[in-house]
């Protein structure tokens, strides 16, 4: 990418898109075309087609998606499948039609089978059954990967896909009905501390293992790969290390300063037992994360405190 290249970031106000925007600005890029969901409905094929014909971006980061945690994914199954398919179909096809030089599609680690061997290698895609609770979202993301591969194969498009692990950081979603596990913990422990509660109740047994990557690290990896990676195969982005949900809870509890008890509601689902990314392909490309989990949680909590009044709660 040249410093004056026209860059479209789909989903620039979300956690991932805003992190990519910040990172590009840090690196001296200035020519952005950015539209909010009110200004451009990415589910609307004609609107997206008209936008691309008018703006003609050189590079596209496809970070827009309908996202959520276990409850949201399992409750709004049709919405998650339809809206995510529509968003990525419209952007990928319009990118092809309008000669975009390069597109990056951002997926999710939930594309992998529920009981796939650990750590998750890129080769494990479509080798088994998906986790039932977020199957619609996963299927949409798998379709996005395959679309990028197909447009590369048929039309020669330089469209690449990356699969981030669990993410957290600035502009995260703290709505307890729709958020992911780490931001939900930050909010729960903070509110318990403020209210003087004696205990915090969390879902499941605490035994599942999860990997977490700070959004700023993801953005750094995305910009790096946009400049240095042009292969048909998608590539995992993560840390290559994981912790139990119980260990995560203890770290968040300590960071927030909550001194009460932890109660595990074992009547609630745990989700996938483990989701650890194999990042050997990413490391071989020359990139590795720099923000460790304890440091990252401290940064995320600081952001939560600074923007508490304007966060999605």
Residue keyed to tokens 């709660």: 313
Nearest to 186 by CA among 275, 248, 241: 248
Is residue 190 annotated as involved in ligand binding?
A: no
The annotation status of 15 as a binding-site residue, yes or no, is: yes
Q: What does the CA dihedral 6, 64, 217, 138 come to, rounded to 10 degrees?
A: -140
Q: Is 5 annotated as a binding residue?
A: no
Residue 99 annotated in ligand binding: no
Q: Is 109 marked within a binding site?
A: yes
- Choose among 263, 203, 277, 204: nearest CA to 234: 277
Catalytic residue among 59, 112, 137, 301: 137
Q: Is 13 annotated as a binding residue?
A: yes
Is 307 known to sit in a ligand binding site? no
**Residue 14 marked as a ligand binder:** yes
196 is in an annotated binding site: no
1 labeled part of a ligand binding site: no
Residue 144 counted as an annotated binding residue: no
Is 11 annotated to bind a ligand? Reply is yes
Asked whether residue 264 is marked as a ligand-binding residue, the answer is: no
Question: Is residue 165 part of an annotated ligand binding site?
Answer: yes
The reply to whether 301 belongs to the active site is: no
The answer to whether the annotation marks 108 as part of a ligand binding site is yes
Residue 277 marked in a binding site: no
Buried b (16+ CB within 10 A) or exposed e, 248-269: bbebbbebbebeeeeebeeeeb
Residue closest to 180 by CA, chosen among 9, 11, 290, 16: 16
188 a known binding residue? yes
Residues known to be catalytic: 137
Q: Binding site: what residues are annotated?
A: 11-17, 106-109, 141, 164-167, 180, 188, 203, 210, 270
Binding-site members for NADP(+) are 11-17, 106-109, 141, 164-167, 180
Which residues are annotated as part of the binding site for substrate? Answer: 188, 203, 210, 270
């Amino acid at each position: 990418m040249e410093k004056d290249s026209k860059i479209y970031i789909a989903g620039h106000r979300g956690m991932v898109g805003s992190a990519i925007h910040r990172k590009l600005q840090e690196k001296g890029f200035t020519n952005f075309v950015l539209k909010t969901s009110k200004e451009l409905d990415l589910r609307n094929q004609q609107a997206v087609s008209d936008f691309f014909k008018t703006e003609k971006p050189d590079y596209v980061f496809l970070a827009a998606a309908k996202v959520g945690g276990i409850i949201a994914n399992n409750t709004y199954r049709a919405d998650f499948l339809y809206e995510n398919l529509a968003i990525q179909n419209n952007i990928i096809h319009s990118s092809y039609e309008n000669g975009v030089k390069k597109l990056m599609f951002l997926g999710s680690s939930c594309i992998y089978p529920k009981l796939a061997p650990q750590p998750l290698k890129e080769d494990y895609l479509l080798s088994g059954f998906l986790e039932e609770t977020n199957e619609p979202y996963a299927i949409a993301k798998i379709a996005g990967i395959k679309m990028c591969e197909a447009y590369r194969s048929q039309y020669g498009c330089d469209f690449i896909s990356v699969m981030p692990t669990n993410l957290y950081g600035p502009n995260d979603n703290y709505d307890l009905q729709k958020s992911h596990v780490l931001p939900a913990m930050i909010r729960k422990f903070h509110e318990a501390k403020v209210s003087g509660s004696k205990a915090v109740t969390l879902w499941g047994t605490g035994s599942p293992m999860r990997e977490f990557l700070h959004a700023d690290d993801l953005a750094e990896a995305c910009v790096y790969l946009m400049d240095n990676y042009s292969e048909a195969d998608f590539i995992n982005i993560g840390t290559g290390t994981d912790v139990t949900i119980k260990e995560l809870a203890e770290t968040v509890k300590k960071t927030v300063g909550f001194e009460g008890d932890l109660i595990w509601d074992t009547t609630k689902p745990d989700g996938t037992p483990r989701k650890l990314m194999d990042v050997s392909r990413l490391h071989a490309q020359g990139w590795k994360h720099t923000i460790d989990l304890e440091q990252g949680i401290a940064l995320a909590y600081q952001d939560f405190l600074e923007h508490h009044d304007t966060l999605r709660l």
